[in-house]
Amino acid sequence: MAHSVFIPDCAKDDYREIRKYVNRKFGKAVRDSSDQQYKEILKDIGEFPYAGFVPEEAVKLGLQGIRERLVGQTRVIYEIGVRDVYVHMFVSTRRDFMTMLTDRLLKD
């Protein structure tokens, strides 16, 4: 049974920021290719949510049901529910995940 994939507004903002960076740094063709990779990974996450690996940070924090998949240099952080998957963050591998998570928690 495939899971429904939901992306909250805060994660959509992450994605838009990364998309703008890719477009500015590498151009429209690379951005379009990247967009396609994100679409494919989100579909794959819905079909095979447990295929992702548990991020080290989630283990340290004792978070359950959190997984990660990579798209290029971006970590897609998501939580697996009974029927749904929630993509919480798109994090560049060049950014510190814990800092970004702390900023997100303090912001929301």
d(CA 1, CA 80): 13
Cα–Cα dist 8/78, whole Å: 11
Distance between CA atoms of 65 and 26, rounded to whole angstroms?
34
Q: Cα–Cα distances in Å, from 93 out to 1, 84, 98, 108?
A: 31, 25, 12, 22
Domain with 62 in it: what CATH number?
3.30.2310.20
* Owning domain of residue 83: 4-107
Q: Determine if the pTM surpasses 0.85.
A: yes
Tens digits of residue pLDDT in 40-99: 999 999 999 999 999 988 888 888 899 999 999 999 999 999 999 999 999 988 888 778
- In this prediction, residue 108 carries a pLDDT of 55
What pLDDT band is residue 30 in, cutting at 50, 70 and 90?
very high
- Residue type for position 13: D
Number of domains the chain contains: 1
